[in-house]
Structures are given as C-alpha cells and as structure tokens.
Amino acid sequence: MGKTLFDKIWDAHVVQNVEDGPTQLYIDRLYAHEVTSPQAFDTLRDKGVKVFRPDHVIAMPDHNTPSDQQKEIHDPVGRKQVETLAKNCKEFGIKHFAMGTKDNGIIHVVGPEKALSLPGMTIVCGDSHTSTHGAVGAIAMGIGTSEVAQVLASQCILQSKPKTMRINVEGTLPKGTTAKDVALYIMAQMTTSGATGYAVEYAGSAIKNMSMEGRLTLSNLSIEMGSRAGLIAPDDITFAYLKGREYAPKGADWDKAVEEWRKLYSDPDAKFDKEVTYRAEDIAPRITYGTNPGAGIAIDECIPTLESIPEADKAQFLGMLDYMQFKPGQKLEGTPVDYCFLGACTNGRIEDFRAFASVVKGKKKAANVVAWLVPGSWLVRQQIIDEGIDKILAEAGFELRLPSCSACLAMNPDKVPAGKLAISTSNRNFVGRQGPGARTILASPLVVAASAITGVITDPRKI
C-alpha cells in the first residue's frame, strides 16, 4: 500500500520507535519566540546542557512587540520576555531576529517568506499556529515548553504519531471567497474538535489553484479544528514562492532539492484514516457569530435559531450569544462595528494587503471605525510600500502600522476595549482574546475591508 504525504515525511525523520510509547522524531527546524521559550532555556541551564544544533533554531519576538512604535515596550512583563529572549539567544548561540530589524516579524510569517521552512521538513515551535508552515509541504506542529527544551537539547522530540485525514475541496471558489472563508467553512462543518487526533492534508482542485499565501492561511487554521498538523503537497506554486528567497537552496542545490520535493505527495493508493470532500461552489464569504472559530455563518445568513441547535448544545450556544450581545436568528450583515483588524499570522501577508486595498481604493474609512492594519513582517511592510499600497491606504484614511502580532491577542497595546465589536482577520475569537470583554468576529481581508469603509458588517460582493 502507498504512503500518505504525512507518512513519508514522518517516516524519514524517525530516530527510533519506543516500545509501547512515543516515537523519537528528528526535528529540522525549531522556531522560538519570547513567550514560551524562557522556561525551556532555564531547563537547559539547570541540567548544564547546551543547545545541540543552534543553527537549526531561529528566534524572534512577536507577541509583545507594539505596532505603533518599536523603540520600547512599556509593559514590564512583555519587556522582560523580549529582553530575556535576546539574552538567551546570545548565551546559547542562536540566530535572533530582534524587534525593529528588517528580519523581524510574526514567526509564522517570517519562516516561510525567508524559506527557513521548506518542503519535507519537520518543524516545531512553542505556539499552536505552527501548523502554518505545513503549507510548504512540511510536518509543522505546536509543542509545549518542556518539548521545546527537548528539541533544544537533542534536536529530537518524543511524539505519538497522529492519525491521518485528507480534506478535499473540489471546484472553483466563487468571487469574493478566500482561503480564510474556506477554513471557516470547514470548521463550521467539522466543528472545532472535528480533526482532533489527526494530521490533515488539504487537497483537491480548489487547493491546487490556491496561492501560497492562501495555503498558509488555510494551514494556519488547522489547529482550530483540533488537528495536530495541516499540510499541503508541494508543487510548482510552492517552488515558485520559495525560489530565490534568502535561505532557499541556490543553483544546483536548488535543482536537486526540487527534484526531491516533487516526490512529496500522497500515493494514489495511500489510505487515510478519514477522508472528507467539500464543494468550493458552496463556500461564500463568512463571518463568525460566537466565541469559537467554528461558530460561523455565510455573511448573508442569519445566526441559527434556538430550535435548530441540539438540546445538549443549547446552553453553550446561548452563552456565546450572550457574550457577543447577539440573538438567535439575528442577521449580522449591517451590524455596526467599532474596530477592524487586518493582520496576524493568519492574514498578515502581502496578498492580504492587496486584497484589502482593492476594496478600499478610492473610498474612505468610516468615521466610527478604529482600524489597525498590521503587516506580518518587515518584508511584507516593504512590499506594501514598494507596490504603492501604503498610498492607497493613506488616501482612504488608514494608517499602516509596524509588524507585530498586534490585536490577534491581548499581549501588546493593541487591545479592543470591553464591549466593543471587532471584525478581525485573526485566528481566534475566544472570550477576551482581543482584550478583556472584547467581542470578535472573524472574517477575511475582503470582509474586513468592506466593513471598515461602511462602518457595518458588509458583504464585499456588494461593494
């Protein structure tokens, strides 16, 4: 029987199988940021252990970095985390992309755009959205702090092998529908626990025709279904994206690498533990209405009625709506919004800013809206300037901010005030995720852009 893409990469990295236990898996790349790494480095100090392969580790701050200026961090906890990361990198000889430098940005944006993440790799980071890197055809997983210490010390990790699932999206996506909408649709169909225990491979004609930025968005949200990893077989779109980037192989090494990468696909007779298929034509621009990414609807639909919710789920459903200040059966299109956020490791790439600009060009930001437009890296920010997108945004009344995780989570100054409603391209709409008491609707860059110029939740197809 043939192998799945996941099996091919996993099997090539097995150091040893522990009897009645996990697999010792070799790791090609460890990413480290300021929040989850300090305890791991302390573990190494306590045990008198050095970093085994420092050239396989890349570190940068992103969660605490402010997006309005990057000369100082006023929050003492955030400042200490960022300073500690710099000290640990210097002590252990790790490449560090410091705040405010051209190499810095959100770790899950910088990794692929610098070709530090490559097909066939195993990649880990102490961050749940590490699944992003799977879009290049790699096994990429979020891990805990103790596991970060394992990798620092040995370049290996103990992991139980997950089951495999293939999610096919066949057909052509309708106008106005993006990769973000695909992810939100799948989560609504499968629920936020529908892929728990699985590594997901995305396939089908809609995925094959998706841009690299779109694939990164889709893989980023795999964790929101409970998946251990989300990956996409590398192809010519992948290779064109990676070629010539800073850490990509060069010359003859590039040709040799591509030759090997072309073998990274699921064999025709490979058996998945589960397989599902969706029609691209069924997916419209989407928004969430609740406090998990799976609680979503098409933008022109209404929130489900109470009668349509299973009895066992009604209490949770009503609790979500109470927090969001919505009602069963309510139509959200046309609801006033207070904050609009474009950015995060989900939608902070150049394609996302191009999409946003295509909607707001020649128009003006609504007076009632506070908008944060935050690139995912300094490279993305420079692309925005080089392409003149910054001028389009400025003419429409928007400010281009500095690279940061920003309003994705309440760990830096970009916090949504209690009770205010934000429409956001980020990945999570949990209670208080964007600030204590903040209410979050997840959407694509097109939906956020349309809402930012009208001041209400707006279907971009109607602009």
pLDDT for the residue numbered 355: 98
> Residue 82: which residues within 8 A CB-CB, separation 6 or more?
34, 61, 64, 65, 73, 99
- CA gap 434, 406 in Å, rounded: 9
Report the DSSP pairing between strands 122-125 and 95-96. Answer: unpaired
CA dihedral 241, 423, 103, 117 (to 10 degrees): -40
Q: Average of pLDDT values for 290-319?
A: 97
Give the pLDDT confidence score for residue 370 in this predicted structure: 98
Q: Which of 340, 348, 382 is nearest to 365 (CA)?
A: 340
Query: Which residue in 427, 428, 372 sits closest to 400, CA to CA?
Result: 372
Residue 142 one-letter amino acid: G
Task: Give span(s): CATH 3.30.499.10, the chain.
Answer: 5-274, 286-462
CA–CA dist 313, 307 (Å, integer): 11
Sign of CA dihedral 349, 352, 356, 359: positive
Mean pLDDT value of segment 237-256: 98
User: Position 155: which residue type?
Assistant: Q
Q: How confident is residue 242, by pLDDT bands cut at 50, 70 and 90?
A: very high
| Burial bucket for residue 139 (CB in 10 Å: 0-12, 13-18, 19+) | buried
Phi first, then psi: what are they for 158, rounded to 5°?
A: -95, 120
Instruction: Evaluate whether the domain defined by 286-462 bears CATH number 3.40.50.1820.
Output: no
Cα(395)–Cα(402) distance, rounded to whole angstroms?
Answer: 18
Q: Do 432 and 417 meet the contact criterion of CB atoms below 8 Å apart?
A: no
- What would the mean pLDDT of 19-42 be, rounded to a whole number? 96
Show the tokens assigned to 37: 């790494």
Query: For the segment 106-119, what is each residue's pLDDT rounded down to a tens digit?
Result: 999 999 999 999 99
Would you state the pLDDT for residue 139? Answer: 98
Model confidence at 389, pLDDT cuts 50, 70, 90, reads: very high
Bridge-based pairing of strands 156-159 and 23-26 is antiparallel
pLDDT for 1 equals 85
Neighbours of 179 (CB within 10 A): 29
pLDDT per position as a tens digit, 41-88:
999 999 999 999 999 999 999 999 999 999 999 999 999 999 999 999
Confidence of residue 386 (pLDDT cuts 50, 70, 90): very high
453: burial class by Cβ within 10 Å (0-12, 13-18, 19+)? Answer: buried
Side-chain-facing half-sphere of 74: CA atoms under 13 Å: 7
In this prediction the pTM is 0.97
Across the range 150-164, mean pLDDT stands at 97
Cα dihedral sign, 149-151-155-160 = positive
CA angle 193, 108, 425 (to 5 degrees): 65
pLDDT of 200 over the 90 cut: yes
Pick the CATH number of 5-274 from 3.40.50.300, 3.30.930.10, 3.40.190.10, 3.30.499.10: 3.30.499.10
- Count CB atoms within 10 A of the CB of residue 48: 6
Q: CA end-to-end span of the chain, whole Å?
A: 51
Nearest alpha carbon to residue 300 among 324, 332, 272, 276: 332
Q: What is the pairing mode between strands 57-59 and 95-96?
A: parallel
Please give the full DSSP string across 86-137, using - where no structure is assigned: HHHHHHHT-EE--TTSTT-B-HHHHHHHTT-S-TT-EEEESSGGGGGGGGGT
Please give the Cα distance from 162 to 158 (Å, whole number): 12
Name the residue type at position 71: K
**Residue-level pLDDT at 19:** 87
Mean pLDDT over residues 25-38, rounded? Answer: 97
Identify whether the C-beta of residue 243 lies closer than 8 Å to the C-beta of residue 254: yes
Portion of the chain with pLDDT greater than 90, in percent: 99
User: What pLDDT does residue 18 have?
Assistant: 87
Copy the structure tokens of residue 192: 């936020």
Structure tokens at 455: 């001041």
Biggest CA pair distance of the chain: 64
Average pLDDT, integer, range 297-321: 97
Interatomic CA distance for residues 148 and 94, integer angstroms:
14
d(CA 433, CA 455): 22
CA distance 349 to 306: 38
